[in-house]
Amino acid sequence: MDGVGGVIVETEAYDVDDPASHSFGGPRARNLPMFGPAGRAYVYRIYGLHWCLNVVCDAARPGSAVLIRALEPTLGLDRMRERRPAVPDRHLARGPGRLCQALGVTGVFNGADACASPFSWSPPATPASVVTGTRIGIRRGAETPWRFGLRGSPWLSRPFP
C-alpha cells in the first residue's frame, strides 16, 4: 500500500453471531484472522476475482470485523490510477474490490497487523456525520443495519436510501 490512501467513507460490520459473517459457525482455515487479535487484517477474495479488506475489531467478541467498503482517494492518486486505468476518480475506490485494487491490497495482507506499516489510520479532523443502513450483497442477515457511511459523500459504493 505504497503511499496510497484516503478518507474511509463507508464500512460494514460483521460478528460471530451474524449469519452473513464469515465467522458465523466458528473458526475455519479461511476465517482464522477473524478469531485472532483485534487490529489484524482479514483479507479474502469474493467471486474468485476481488480482494476485500476487513479489520478485526472487537477483542471481547472474537469473530468481529469491519469491512472497508469505500474510500475517498486523497493520497497517491497517480498510483491508484495506474492500478485502475481508464476509470473516473470517483470510481477508484468505490466498493470493496475496487478499493483493494486501488490500494494494492491482496491476500498477502491476510492476518497482517493493521496497526503497523504499511497500514496507517488517523481520526477525522472534524466529527463526521454518519448514516446507517442495511448491508449490501448479502442474503442472510441482510436486514441488520450495520452499513455505515459518511453522509452525503459522493464516494460511497451506493447511496443510502
Question: Residue 44 corresponds to which cell in the numbers above?
Answer: 479474502
| pLDDT of amino acid 1 | 62
| pLDDT of amino acid 124 | 87
User: pTM of the entire structure?
Assistant: 0.94
| pLDDT of amino acid 77 | 96
Q: In percent, how much of the chain has pLDDT > 70?
A: 99
H/E stretch holding 98 = helix 96-103
Domains of the chain from N-terminus onward: 5-150 (3.10.300.10)
Cross-strand pairs, 86 = none
Contacts of 138 (CB under 8 A, 6+ apart): 20
* Dihedral over Cα of 130, 131, 137, 141: its sign: positive
Backbone angles phi, psi at 124, to 5 degrees: -65, 155
| pLDDT of amino acid 59 | 84
Give the separation between CA 18 and CA 15, rounded to whole angstroms.
5
Residues of the chain with pLDDT under 50: none
